[in-house]
Structure 1
């Protein structure tokens, strides 16, 4: 199945590198991550076209056929637009994503005084990264979320150990207050997991991390373009555009939480 979105193609490349299986069924892909079954966007159906109102039942059934034990439901569409109202009417959450890219080192301001940027290396660094990932989870769901985050950190560390990736953190004393990763995938390098704690937002930390990761990625002469994905309408898009990224594609995902499925 052909996919034009660099965000989606690099998503799939990353998942394969981390042990996920991607099976092509012609007009859709089935993505499966057995090592992390609660990873929604590691266990989902990716449809080649846009959302269509008359195909909701088809894709729900297809997901349930492939993932009969899953509590979540997740279907992605490789093209933006289409009719997502039928999904919303059934209680599904619709999320649009924007792919942005640049062929230059991103522009960013200086790191604020008292903050250090460095790569994640120690067990404590990675545990803190997992904790940051679960920062906003309600207490009743926190234990399960941390299981998911720690599984994901294990896969990320394996990418770092392979030499393909680096994860960077912004540290206030010894505490991670922002972090992200970047993975070299041939001619493209893809950013991952850009997160800043609410207490440290609007200080330029995300921009500084994006620049540092881009500098590292371009040390490999085979890398010609950096790719990052942001939520449509979210505040991150402006940050990335100011750093030099431009929009190149859009796509859509629909999902239902375990309690709703």
Structure 2
């Protein structure tokens, strides 16, 4: 149990990558707070299975983020591990991109990372131990059409990660991001209809000619693979890895 006594807060963790990370951390003894939306009964089941505390904060609202951090600190202790995983997506040409969708994507995918980090890092520095792991994307390194807000946000996450890593380098706190390629999650599945419409393609064409076109392995990354890397970053053996953008994209960004 390498994380016995540690507290972990994982945003966007009621499904997909975030849930896999929460399961991996809890499996190594961490006390976990999960966050996200979904069916209340399913969230209650997940919480029971993990022995986790749940907070349904809307991460587009800074006040709710502050309340979530207080909730975690009051019930479990201040986070030793912060995983910023929550994300939303919308696919549309820039001239048609809804302003509300742009604002929501930047708020949840990027600005929320700032708020959780600024609130969690003081206690990590005080304890001289902390792990901040941000789920970025291959889109933190390369772009795709019709995803201007998402690409902008994920490039921002990568830059933010590097900056905070330098600030915390002498305080026992590492700050890294993981950049998966396409992972088979609800977020990916839900963007297929928009991509079909935007590019006038069939579902199969979107799957094979758009989503997996850039991944030489021609397979989706699994949430469990991302979780295993996140767990490694929490180990003492990873204490010299900081400010890194770790690609897990089947070779997408190797070219």
Q: TM-score, normalised by structure 1?
A: 0.29
Q: TM-score, normalised by structure 2?
A: 0.29
- Would you tell me which structure has more helix in proportion to its own residues? 2
- Would you tell me which structure has more strand in proportion to its own residues? 1
